[in-house]
Structure 1
């Protein structure tokens, strides 16, 4: 990657990670500290945990579209300020309703789509996958770190201190945006990273994509509901004070990442994607049944969490890959936009419904409800077609008109290993799906060469 691309990748990954760290630090401890808030009930505690998901799901696509009009960095900066403001509202809260309002305001700073669009503006087509992968890794690391940092920060600073910490993280993200992330010379539309509103119907009527959207909704609903119950079980039944919850989460997260690696290899390299995918859903269901039976014992909670996070981390890796393989080649950005909104709406539902179940039926019923939801998800996923073993590839081309673009796309589709090809003359990009084991890259590049001028480094303006 060029210097500009490296700065963009590192800066945007850090901003995304800091925001996610702030959002998720509350997850493993809020149920423990919520009792100090006036008016707190299990139902409202769950609503407070998941409130950010509703506003995030509602606003992330509109904010992404707005960034096309007023600039990516302007939208990202505004989103970080909204996130900081929500954190301050929650930090100053004395009752549960103020915290719910603060969490909803945090989620209204929905910058995910704008960050992805800015990453696309600042990278060449052939380097974009690397940058997106770095951002994706930063999200995973931030989530793992939040599970460990939340109990530590909560122990030393309390609930208010947790929210003040998230406000500070938002300010740090704003500083990185201004000082590290380049400003693109030109803002362009990118079909692989942005939503096309006119083509929502194509995504929303695709049964395979809808199965995956339902899957990510279920996964994050189960995650949020689980952490309404698990912290309380660790305190009430295992007798662990909040600080020692980190001693549980740290080894569990580390071990689960190690356990998922061979399964990811089996899915991607050995082309066992559907089998591994269904296995991961089974692990989620098994973990919830284990927690239902053994949540009164420390060993049972630890074992249940290990199985859960192995399945969770595996699904977090597989689901975006499945979206990319399943979506039409020129609709990946639109499909990912709907997928991300489903993910955040799932977090909202998990908090709201998990809190309601806890209030009316008790702690064990939360695990039972999560197991039932995982079982329903498994039944829905059974009908999924085995995904084709394809990868996305973007190539910079120069064609003069639509007729020439169609001719190039037709020739590309005739090459062995090229499964789909769409050439968009307005963007100067060929969007491809390829089978890496069959495609001849030399023939592919030779065909494109006469259409593709040298790719210059994206030139940033002064930040």
Structure 2
């Protein structure tokens, strides 16, 4: 990558990091406050945990589309201001209801789609995947850091202090966008990185993509439901002070990454993605059953928790790759936007149902619910077709090739190894899916 692209990757990854840290730090903390707020119930705590997912899902695609019209940076800065406002409302709260309102407003600052589109505006075609990957990795790192740091900050500053820190992080994100992130010369409608309104319906009609959307919905629903109860289990059954919960989170996340990374390599490099996908969903199911049965068995609880996060980290990494494999080359960005919306809806539903089940039926019910959801997901996944391991490729076209897009598309389809073609005349780019083993690189040079 050139210096501009390196700056883009680092600065936008930092923007993502400060925002996701603020959202995730509350996850291992909020259930512990059920006894401190007069009107708080497990259901309301679960709603407070998950409600940002509802507003995030609602506003993400519309704000992404608005960024095409009004500019990426304006939408991102506006979204971060809304996020900061929600954080301040939650910080000033003395009851669970105003925390719910603050969390809902946090989610309204949904900048994911606009941020990815800005990254695409600022990068050359051949390096776009690298920039996207660096931003995507930030989410996983931010989650792990937040889970470890959140309980420690809670001991020092309390729940209100965490929300104030979240507001400060949002302001830091605004400064990064305003003064560090480069300004794009021109905005494009990126088919590989942005949401295009015309492609939403085709993305929703794709049966394989629908099953991927259902999968990410279940994964994040189960994860969020689990965290309506896990902090309480660590406090009450393990008799571990909340400030010491990092002693569980840190080794579990560390070990889960160590186990998940080789699995990801095996899935992609050796094309074992479907059997590993099925196996990890089955492991997720077993982990839920293990946690449900571990009321007085500490080793089973911790082992099940570890297996859950090994599965979670693997699934979190390979599902976006599968979305790219199952989507048409021209709807990839839109398919990813719908996929992300499903993820946030899962967070909302998981918080609400987890809190309700905990309140009405106890902690085992939360884990059994997760096991049933995982079983349904496993059933859907068994019928997925084996994906094609084609690579996405962006080809810059010369001016002559853009005068007759149909003829150029037909000519590209005749090149050995080219499996799918979509030409974006406004960008001067051909979006391709290719089989690298068959691809004749020299034939592509004639189109540049």
TM-score, normalised to structure 1, is: 0.95
Question: What corresponds to 1:137 in structure 2?
Answer: 137
Q: Is residue 252 of structure 1 aligned with residue 249 of structure 2?
A: no
Secondary structure of the 1:410 match is helix
Q: Is residue 194 of structure 1 aligned with residue 201 of structure 2?
A: no
Give the whole-Å Cα distance in 2 for the aligned partners of 1:402 and 1:341: 34
Question: What corresponds to 2:79 in structure 1?
Answer: 79
Give the whole-Å Cα distance in 2 for the aligned partners of 1:435 and 1:249: 41
The question of whether the paired residues in 2 share the 8 Å contact of 1:38 and 1:94 is answered with no
Question: What corresponds to 1:330 in structure 2?
Answer: 330
**Range 300-309 or range 134-143, more displaced:** 300-309
Question: What corresponds to 1:3 in structure 2?
Answer: 3
What stretches of structure 1 of length at least 5 have no aligned partner?
A: 450-463
The question of whether the paired residues in 2 share the 8 Å contact of 1:322 and 1:387 is answered with yes
**Range 109-118 or range 391-400, more displaced:** 391-400
Deviation of 1:146 (Å): 1.0
Give the whole-Å Cα distance in 2 for the aligned partners of 1:277 and 1:441: 32
Equivalent runs, 1:28-107 vs 2, <5 Å: 28-107=28-107
Deviation of 1:435 (Å): 1.9
Give the whole-Å Cα distance in 1 for the aligned partners of 2:226 and 2:375: 15
Deviation of 1:415 (Å): 2.2
The question of whether the paired residues in 2 share the 8 Å contact of 1:238 and 1:296 is answered with no
The question of whether the paired residues in 2 share the 8 Å contact of 1:64 and 1:114 is answered with yes
Deviation of 1:60 (Å): 0.5
Secondary structure of the 1:184 match is coil
Equivalent runs, 1:341-420 vs 2, <5 Å: 341-399=341-399, 404-420=404-420
Q: Is residue 113 of structure 1 aligned with residue 113 of structure 2?
A: yes
What stretches of structure 2 of length at least 5 have no aligned partner?
A: none
Give the whole-Å Cα distance in 2 for the aligned partners of 1:129 and 1:283: 30
Q: Deviations over 1:348-385 (max 9, x none)?
A: 00001111111110011100100110011100111111
Give the whole-Å Cα distance in 2 for the aligned partners of 1:127 and 1:330: 18
Secondary structure of the 2:35 match is helix
Secondary structure of the 1:39 match is coil
Report how many aligned residue pairs link the two structures. 448
Deviation of 1:397 (Å): 1.2
Question: What corresponds to 1:240 in structure 2?
Answer: 240
Secondary structure of the 1:228 match is coil
The question of whether the paired residues in 1 share the 8 Å contact of 2:189 and 2:196 is answered with no
RMSD: 1.3
Question: What corresponds to 1:289 in structure 2?
Answer: 289
The question of whether the paired residues in 1 share the 8 Å contact of 2:402 and 2:408 is answered with no
Deviation of 1:242 (Å): 0.6
Question: What corresponds to 1:218 in structure 2?
Answer: 218
Q: Deviations over 1:438-460 (max 9, x none)?
A: 3233333x2323xxxxxxxxxxx
Question: What corresponds to 2:446 in structure 1?
Answer: 447
Give the whole-Å Cα distance in 2 for the aligned partners of 1:442 and 1:359: 65
Change (3 A) 1:295 1:148: farther
Deviation of 1:336 (Å): 0.7
The question of whether the paired residues in 2 share the 8 Å contact of 1:398 and 1:425 is answered with no
Give the whole-Å Cα distance in 2 for the aligned partners of 1:87 and 1:35: 22
Give the whole-Å Cα distance in 1 for the aligned partners of 2:93 and 2:391: 48
Q: Deviations over 1:240-274 (max 9, x none)?
A: 11111100000110100110122112211111111
